[in-house]
């Protein structure tokens, strides 16, 4: 088990290292001179910001310093929690803006991902049992997995928001209110949260249902299922075992899908102008705010790595084989 | 008489038509008898083994009856068959290495299995059975992955015989094991019979020499039909069916007597059972085939307990 | 000793027979036929549509915000652009991104998977580590950074970067398959007869899992289309031309939803869903054709 976690942590550590390196390298090695053109573009609208940018990039690229020194400096500033200053919201530090947006993204993503996983697995398990349900779950599942997240979001926003007028289609809360600790504000938040959540939930649902269905069918044809059937064990027991064993690859699947789910959450937020990281990214791109973009990138990578590690821990709890010190999940 | 099979026909349903895997087989297994079932791949011996306990989804019971201890078993009716399974008929499968649920401790799995069959777990009996096959009691607290292949094999043997079934089917259980383990497993199976844990046993294998060591009677099948059935010694020393003879000759060692024989495989392969040829099914490969083989040879008892389906026997 | 061996084993048949048999089942597989028909129809629409209709997809027209009519099949945008013209051009881009991105990812995935699976040992360890790292990094986030810094973005560059980042799961799957093939007799035989690694991989291993590789490519194809549409939607699509994702982005940016211009945002999303969904369904069909076990039931 120690080896299992050791390997995982090594991969995550290296991943973070690679992500930071990408972050450092991309602006440096892009064709042309993006820095000067960026500074020029920003300078037209906000001279003070342009000056900050010039100073930052001079420090970053160090001009007179050797490359390894520049790279080292980059890490040093990172460990001080310094992600730079936002151009779009000058002079707010990037880290502050991101921390303000993270709760919205998490509030949207965590329930949507977990619920779609649970409900999808549940549907899939039932579909594997009943032919009629199977015939309904499969096509719907395939359509949902093939749908781009933002299109489903647009359809829901248009149908339930614009046409039916049931839900607001923009923002995290009403424009007329200010965030405060009241019951009314909470309801307002919930009201705005519903559609983006539903959209994210539905888009992810189909994949889990199909995956679970296929896994259960595979498990029901496995040797241990056949043996139990030959000994006359009731279907109830066999299905219980099959379900338990089919859930394990679905947990691994959750880890593998995290990147796609995060991407889905980002574009869904953009559709609903939901004040999370997705909307931040859009603003960063529209305003050429590269500090903000790069900071968000590192936050997302960090979040995904932490989520991966949590899933690893859950896997160890659920799969006895990893605890028994034997091979279980792949590194 | 423990098991009586009469004119059993079991076909496979495939897209191309019916595969007549078991086409009218009759035999009996007595109390305290171990019947060795031998033949090439695809001769129908695995189909026979499955038919006696649980048919897979594509198998169809076309005709014939199976009686166990005087009671007819509804082998084509999966639901009604459940009453017999485990209690009366049990199975040690070919896939013993993967027959145990990987995410349950063995003790818990056994308890849940017994509970689901409405049987109370007799912990003392279970431990006694583990002792008998030389397994420490701690295996009950282990997951299957923590056990070696041989240990898993023995766990399955203990589980399958826990309710003292009347008939035990051992399906190719030794094919995945090395030679010394094979002998140990075969010995343990014989001990099950000797100790009265099981009344009778069908030992399915393609390995005639191993069958010879534990079986009282050997039945050789060919292309879905019975070719020859006789006491083990007679089958090996005085086979009557040309197929049995070729099969014996193709063995590297069955007693010293055959050690100097040339090792000959049997040319050709069994006929397709989708549209089996009329007459004797071994005809095309048989060195003795003659005109009469166009007609199907009946199973004839040529000596006491020795039946052969061949015109020249 | 399984029941299947009672009918002649697959290995004994001539390759031509196997191929003919696969075709026989392929033509009778509803999922495969339907999926392929949809994909082919949309592909033809994307290839021929722009030629037949002519015109530039982003040209402003004189009649903005028109609902679908005989003249404008899918209506017009707030700028009077013809949505149908944009749609057929967008389809073309979508297929291009899918084929290119999926193709690049498939090639990398195969290279890494084959070498890791066949060579094993230290090379496998290193490649596995590399694969895992690329696997954990959220693809879209990396693409965001790269594309944001590219001043001028083309469809080709977009597809290239998608291909470079979306191969890891394919590499893992192919590695596992290769691993199970490498100890087979025919591979041993080739090794004994002195064939080098490259030859064994291309002559012995790859042909034996060609159906699996093809299905992997299809999934990568669909995945590339979805990633590209997300990038386009965020505003990091190609700076020139049009794609289905860019259409969605434009519709969203210019409040098509609030203005009730449903014909602006329904077709591009439906187009993506149809292409990707049809690919997935065809893939399930292919699986049933190539995998006799699934076929029988």
Domain that holds residue B275: 3-95+165-180+199-308
Domain that holds residue C141: 85-295
The answer on A167 and A63 residing in a single domain is no
Q: Does B205 touch chain C (CB under 8 A)?
A: no
d(CA A9, CA C225): 32
d(CA B72, CA B63): 13
Q: Does C234 contact A266 at a Cβ distance shorter than 8 Å?
A: yes
> How many residues in total does chain B contain?
313
Residue A117 reports pLDDT greater than 90 = yes
d(CA A226, CA A72): 59
Subunits touching B (CB < 8 Å, at least 3 pairs)?
A, C
Nearest to A257, CA basis, from A302, A320, A308: A308
Residue C216 inside a domain? The answer is yes
Report the b/e string of C112-141 with b at 16+ CB within 10 A. Answer: bbbbbbbeeeeebeebbebbbbbbbbbbbb
Mark which residues 251-290 of A lie under 8 Å from C by CB: 256, 258-260, 262-264, 266-267, 270-271, 281-282, 284-286, 290
d(CA B78, CA B82): 7
Looking at residue C11, what is its pLDDT? 38
The answer on A63 and A111 residing in a single domain is no
The answer on A55 and A105 residing in a single domain is no
Percent of chain C having pLDDT more than 90? 38
Residue C159 inside a domain? The answer is yes
Using alpha carbons only, how large is chain C's radius of gyration in Å?
A: 23
Q: Does B160 contact A223 at a Cβ distance shorter than 8 Å?
A: no
Nearest to B6, CA basis, from B25, B31, B22, B21: B25
- How far is the CA of C230 from the CAs of A3, B250, C67, C128, C272, in angstroms? 38, 66, 26, 28, 11
Q: What is the pLDDT of residues C99-154, one digit of tens each?
A: 999 999 999 999 999 999 888 889 999 999 999 999 888 888 888 888 888 877 88
d(CA C237, CA C251): 14
Which helix (H) or strand (E) element contains residue A51?
A: helix A47-61
Q: How many CB pairs under 8 A join A and C?
A: 157
Cross-sheet strand order for the sheet of B59-68:
B17-29, B3-14, B59-68, B71-72
**Would strands B200-204 and B34-38 be described as parallel, antiparallel, or unpaired?**
parallel
Percent of chain C having pLDDT more than 70? 92
User: Which residue in the set B15, B19, B56 is minimally distant from C6, CB to CB?
Assistant: B19
Q: Does B206 contact C296 at a Cβ distance shorter than 8 Å?
A: no
User: Which residue in the set C136, C146, C269 is minimally distant from A148, CB to CB?
Assistant: C269
Residue with tokens 């992955």: B145
Q: How many domains does chain A fold into?
A: 2
Residue A225 inside a domain? The answer is yes
The alpha-carbon gap from B119 to the nearest alpha carbon of chain A, in Å, equals: 12
Residue C269 reports pLDDT greater than 90 = yes
Nearest to B218, CA basis, from B308, B92, B93, B313: B308
Question: With bands split at pLDDT 50, 70 and 90, how would you rate the model's confidence at C22?
Answer: confident
Looking at residue C292, what is its pLDDT? 63
Q: How many domains does chain B fold into?
A: 1
B167 forms beta bridges with: B89, B200
Looking at residue A268, what is its pLDDT? 94
d(CA C90, CA C249): 12
Strands (E), B30-183: 34-38, 59-68, 71-72, 89-92, 167-171
Using alpha carbons only, how large is chain B's radius of gyration in Å?
A: 20
Looking at residue B200, what is its pLDDT? 93
Contacts of A169 in chain C (CB under 8 A): 257-258
Residue C10 reports pLDDT greater than 50 = no
The answer on A249 and A162 residing in a single domain is yes
Which helix (H) or strand (E) element contains residue B204?
A: strand B200-204
Mark which residues 144-173 of C lie under 8 Å from A by CB: 144-146, 148-151, 169, 172
Contacts of A237 in chain B (CB under 8 A): 112-113, 116
Q: Does B84 contact A232 at a Cβ distance shorter than 8 Å?
A: yes
Q: Does A231 contact B101 at a Cβ distance shorter than 8 Å?
A: no
Which residue is closest to C229 within chain A, CA to CA?
A148
Question: With bands split at pLDDT 50, 70 and 90, how would you rate the model's confidence at B263?
Answer: very low
Contacts of C266 in chain A (CB under 8 A): 155
Residue B140 inside a domain? The answer is no
Domain that holds residue A108: 2-27+94-330
A224 forms beta bridges with: none
Residue B104 inside a domain? The answer is no
- What's the rounded mean pLDDT across residues A290-301? 88
Looking at residue A34, what is its pLDDT? 54
Which residue is closest to C12 within chain B, CA to CA?
B269
Percent of chain A having pLDDT more than 90? 42
- How far is the CA of B166 from the CAs of A311, B169, B186, in angstroms? 48, 10, 18
- What's the rounded mean pLDDT across residues A86-114? 89
Q: What is the pLDDT of residues A248-281, one digit of tens each?
A: 999 989 988 898 999 999 999 999 999 999 999 9
Contacts of C6 in chain B (CB under 8 A): 12, 19, 21, 42, 44, 47, 273
Residue A213 inside a domain? The answer is yes
Which of these ranges, A228-232, B89-93, C28-32, has the smallest mean pLDDT?
C28-32
> Average pLDDT, whole number, for chain C?
84
Residue A55 inside a domain? The answer is yes
Q: What is the pLDDT of residues A176-214, one digit of tens each?
A: 878 888 888 899 999 999 999 999 999 999 999 999 998
d(CA A85, CA A67): 23
Question: With bands split at pLDDT 50, 70 and 90, how would you rate the model's confidence at C15?
Answer: low
Which helix (H) or strand (E) element contains residue B28?
A: strand B17-29
Question: With bands split at pLDDT 50, 70 and 90, how would you rate the model's confidence at C12?
Answer: very low
Residue B192 inside a domain? The answer is no
Q: Is A313 exposed, middle or buried (0-12, 13-18, 19+ CB in 10 A)?
A: exposed
Q: Does C126 touch chain A (CB under 8 A)?
A: no
Contacts of C128 in chain A (CB under 8 A): 331
Return all residues near A86 (Cβ < 8 A) that are at least 6 apart.
A92, A93, A94, A97, A289, A291, A292
Residue B137 inside a domain? The answer is no
The answer on A149 and A78 residing in a single domain is no
Looking at residue A69, what is its pLDDT? 79
Identify the contact set of chain C against chain B, taking CB-CB distances under 8 A. 1-3, 5-8, 295-297
Which residue is closest to B93 within chain A, CA to CA?
A227
The alpha-carbon gap from B93 to the nearest alpha carbon of chain C, in Å, equals: 12
Residue C7 reports pLDDT greater than 70 = no
Which residue is closest to B40 within chain C, CA to CA?
C1
Residue A330 reports pLDDT greater than 70 = no
Which residue is closest to A303 within chain C, CA to CA?
C138
Q: What is the dihedral of CA C134, C137, C142, C143, to 10 degrees?
A: 70
Q: Does B14 contact C1 at a Cβ distance shorter than 8 Å?
A: no
Looking at residue B220, what is its pLDDT? 92
C242 contacts C93 by C-beta, under 8 angstroms: yes
Nearest to B21, CA basis, from A230, C3, C10: C3
Bond from prior residue into A91 cis (ω within 30 degrees of 0): yes
Task: For A117, list phi and psi in degrees, rounded to 5.
Answer: -65, -50
Q: What is the pLDDT of residues C47-102, one digit of tens each?
A: 988 888 877 787 777 787 788 887 778 888 888 888 898 999 999 999 999 999 99
Cross-sheet strand order for the sheet of B34-38:
B89-92, B167-171, B200-204, B34-38, B217-222, B225-231, B306-308, B300-303
The answer on A241 and A184 residing in a single domain is yes
Q: Does C148 contact A14 at a Cβ distance shorter than 8 Å?
A: no
The answer on A109 and A78 residing in a single domain is no
Which of these ranges, A198-207, A232-241, B304-313, has the smallest mean pLDDT?
B304-313
Which of these ranges, B181-195, B234-248, B258-272, C188-202, has the smallest mean pLDDT?
B258-272
- What's the rounded mean pLDDT across residues B48-73? 90
Residue B203 inside a domain? The answer is yes
The alpha-carbon gap from C184 to the nearest alpha carbon of chain A, in Å, equals: 23
Could you tell me which residue, C16 or A52, shows the higher pLDDT? A52
**Would strands B167-171 and B89-92 be described as parallel, antiparallel, or unpaired?**
parallel
C233 contacts C272 by C-beta, under 8 angstroms: no
B85 forms beta bridges with: B89
Which residue is closest to B168 within chain A, CA to CA?
A231
Task: For B168, list phi and psi in degrees, rounded to 5.
Answer: -115, 130
Q: What is the pLDDT of residues B186-214, one digit of tens each?
A: 888 889 999 888 999 999 987 788 888 88
Looking at residue C222, what is its pLDDT? 94
- Looking at residue A18, which CATH number applies to its domain? 1.10.3720.10
Residue C168 reports pLDDT greater than 60 = yes
Residue B137 reports pLDDT greater than 70 = yes
Residue A88 inside a domain? The answer is no
Residue B190 inside a domain? The answer is no
- What's the rounded mean pLDDT across residues C164-171? 93
- What's the rounded mean pLDDT across residues A291-311? 90
Residue with tokens 């187009």: C271
The answer on A52 and A147 residing in a single domain is no
Could you tell me which residue, A301 or B287, shows the higher pLDDT? A301
Nearest to B55, CA basis, from B71, B73, B78: B78
Which residue is closest to C7 within chain B, CA to CA?
B272
- Looking at residue B215, which CATH number applies to its domain? 3.40.50.300
Residue C291 reports pLDDT greater than 80 = no
The answer on A280 and A211 residing in a single domain is yes
C63 contacts C76 by C-beta, under 8 angstroms: yes
Subunits touching A (CB < 8 Å, at least 3 pairs)?
B, C
- How far is the CA of B151 from the CAs of A198, A266, B147, B162, B177, in angstroms? 51, 52, 6, 16, 11
d(CA C83, CA C75): 6
- Looking at residue C186, which CATH number applies to its domain? 1.10.3720.10
Q: Does A148 contact C281 at a Cβ distance shorter than 8 Å?
A: no
> Average pLDDT, whole number, for chain A?
85
B97 contacts B152 by C-beta, under 8 angstroms: yes
Q: Does C265 contact A143 at a Cβ distance shorter than 8 Å?
A: no
Looking at residue B181, what is its pLDDT? 79
Q: How many domains does chain C fold into?
A: 1
d(CA B244, CA B198): 29
- Token couple for C65: 């915000």
Contacts of C148 in chain A (CB under 8 A): 284-285, 290, 293
- What's the rounded mean pLDDT across residues C192-214? 86
> Average pLDDT, whole number, for chain B?
86
Question: With bands split at pLDDT 50, 70 and 90, how would you rate the model's confidence at C231?
Answer: very high
Q: Does A155 contact C269 at a Cβ distance shorter than 8 Å?
A: yes
Nearest to A85, CA basis, from A324, A284, A301, A310: A284
Which residue is closest to B53 within chain A, CA to CA?
A230
Question: With bands split at pLDDT 50, 70 and 90, how would you rate the model's confidence at B34?
Answer: very high
d(CA C269, CA A149): 10
Q: Does A230 contact B53 at a Cβ distance shorter than 8 Å?
A: yes
Mark which residues 175-214 of A lie under 8 Å from C by CB: none
User: Which residue in the set A18, A146, A290 is minimally distant from C280, CB to CB?
Assistant: A146
Contacts of B53 in chain A (CB under 8 A): 230
d(CA A183, CA A142): 40
Mark which residues 30-49 of A lie under 8 Å from C by CB: 30-32, 34, 37
Question: With bands split at pLDDT 50, 70 and 90, how would you rate the model's confidence at A99?
Answer: very high
């Amino acid at each position: 088990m120690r080896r299992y976690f050791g390997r995982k942590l090594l991969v995550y550590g290296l991943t973070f290292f690679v992500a930071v390196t990408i972050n450092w390298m991309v602006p440096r090695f892009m064709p042309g001179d993006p820095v000067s053109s960026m500074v020029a573009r920003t300078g037209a609208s906000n001279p003070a910001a342009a000056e900050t940018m010039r100073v930052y990039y001079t420090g970053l690229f160090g001009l007179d310093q050797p490359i390894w020194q520049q790279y080292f400096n980059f890490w040093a500033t990172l460990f001080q929690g310094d992600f730079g200053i936002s151009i779009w919201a000058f002079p707010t530090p990037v880290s502050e803006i991101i921390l303000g947006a993270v709760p919205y993204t998490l509030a949207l993503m965590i329930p949507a991902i977990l619920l779609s996983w649970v409900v999808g697995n549940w549907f899939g398990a039932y579909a594997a049992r009943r032919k009629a349900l199977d015939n309904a779950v499969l096509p719907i599942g395939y359509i949902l997995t093939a749908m781009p997240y933002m299109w489903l979001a647009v359809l829901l926003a248009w149908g339930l928001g614009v046409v039916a007028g049931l839900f607001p289609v923009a923002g995290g809360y009403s424009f007329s209110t200010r965030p405060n600790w009241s019951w009314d504000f909470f309801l307002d938040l919930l009201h705005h949260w519903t559609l983006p959540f539903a959209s994210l939930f539905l888009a992810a649902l189909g994949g889990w249902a199909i995956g679970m269905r296929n896994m259960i069918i595979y498990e029901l044809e496995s040797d241990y299922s056949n043996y139990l059937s030959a000994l006359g064990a009731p279907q109830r027991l066999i299905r219980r075992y099959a379900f338990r064993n089919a859930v394990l690859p679905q947990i691994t699947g959750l880890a593998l899908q995290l990147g796609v789910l995060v991407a889905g959450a980002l574009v869904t937020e953009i559709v609903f102008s939901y004040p999370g990281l997705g909307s931040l990214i859009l603003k960063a791109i529209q305003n050429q705010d590269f500090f903000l973009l790069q900071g968000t990138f590192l936050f997302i990578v960090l979040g995904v790595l932490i989520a991966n590690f949590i899933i690893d821990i859950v896997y160890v709890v659920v799969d006895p084989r990893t605890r028994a010190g034997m091979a279980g999940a792949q590194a | 008489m423990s098991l009586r099979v009469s004119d059993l026909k079991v076909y496979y349903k495939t897209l191309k038509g019916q595969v007549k895997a078991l086409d009218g087989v009759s035999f009996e297994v007595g109390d305290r008898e171990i019947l060795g079932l031998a033949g090439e791949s695809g001769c129908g011996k695995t189909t026979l083994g499955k038919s006696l306990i649980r048919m897979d989804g594509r198998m169809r019971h076309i005709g014939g009856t199976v009686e166990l201890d005087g009671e007819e078993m509804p082998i084509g009716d999966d639901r009604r068959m459940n009453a017999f399974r485990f209690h009366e008929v049990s199975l040690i499968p070919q896939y013993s290495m993967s027959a145990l649920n990987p995410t349950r401790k063995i003790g818990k799995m056994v308890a849940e299995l017994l509970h689901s069959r409405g049987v109370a777990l007799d912990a003392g009996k279970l431990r006694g059975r583990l002792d008998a096959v030389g397994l420490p009691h701690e295996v009950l607290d282990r997951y299957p992955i923590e056990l070696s292949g041989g240990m898993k094999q023995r766990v399955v043997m203990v589980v399958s015989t826990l309710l003292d079934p009347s008939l035990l089917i051992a399906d190719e259980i030794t094919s995945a094991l090395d030679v010394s383990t094979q002998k140990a497993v075969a010995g343990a199976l014989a001990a099950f019979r000797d100790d009265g844990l099981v009344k009778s046993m069908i030992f399915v294998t393609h390995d005639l020499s191993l069958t010879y060591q534990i079986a009282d009677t050997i039945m050789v099948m060919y292309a879905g039909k019975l070719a020859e059935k006789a006491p083990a010694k007679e089958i090996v020393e005085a086979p009557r069916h040309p197929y049995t003879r070729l099969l014996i000759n193709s063995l590297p060692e069955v007693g010293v007597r055959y050690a100097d024989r040339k090792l000959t495989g049997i040319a050709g392969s069994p006929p397709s059972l989708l549209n089996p040829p009329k007459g004797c099914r071994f005809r095309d490969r048989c060195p003795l085939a003659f005109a009469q083989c166009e007609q199907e040879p009946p199973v004839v008892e040529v000596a006491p307990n020795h039946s052969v389906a061949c015109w020249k026997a | 000793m399984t029941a299947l061996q009672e009918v002649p084993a697959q290995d004994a048949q001539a390759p031509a027979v196997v191929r003919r048999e696969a075709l026989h089942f392929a033509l009778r597989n509803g999922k495969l036929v339907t999926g392929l028909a949809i994909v082919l129809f949309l592909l033809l629409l994307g290839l021929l549509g722009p030629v037949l209709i002519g015109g530039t997809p982003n040209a402003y027209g004189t009649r903005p915000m028109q609902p679908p009519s005989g003249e404008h099949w899918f209506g017009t945008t707030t700028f009077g652009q013809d949505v149908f013209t944009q749609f057929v051009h967008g389809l073309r881009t979508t297929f291009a991104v899918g084929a290119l991105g999926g193709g690049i990812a498939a090639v990398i995935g195969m290279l890494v998977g084959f070498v890791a699976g066949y060579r094993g040992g230290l090379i496998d360890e290193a490649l596995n580590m590399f694969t895992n790292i690329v696997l954990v990094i959220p693809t879209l986030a990396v693409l965001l950074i790269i594309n944001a810094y590219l001043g001028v973005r083309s469809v080709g560059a977009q597809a290239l970067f998608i291909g470079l980042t979306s191969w890891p799961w394919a590499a893992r799957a192919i590695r596992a398959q290769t691993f199970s093939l490498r100890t087979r007799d025919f591979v041993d035989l080739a090794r004994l007869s002195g064939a080098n690694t490259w030859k064994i991989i291309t002559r012995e291993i790859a042909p034996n899992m060609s159906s699996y590789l093809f299905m992997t490519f299809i999934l990568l194809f669909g995945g590339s289309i979805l990633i590209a549409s997300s990038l386009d939607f965020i505003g990091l699509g190609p700076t020139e031309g049009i794609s289905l994702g860019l259409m969605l982005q434009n519709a969203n940016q210019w409040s098509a939803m609030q203005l009730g211009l449903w014909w602006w945002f329904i077709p591009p999303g439906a187009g993506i869903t149809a292409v990707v969904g049809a690919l997935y369904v065809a893939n399930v069909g292919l699986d049933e054709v190539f995998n006799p076990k699934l076929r029988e039931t």
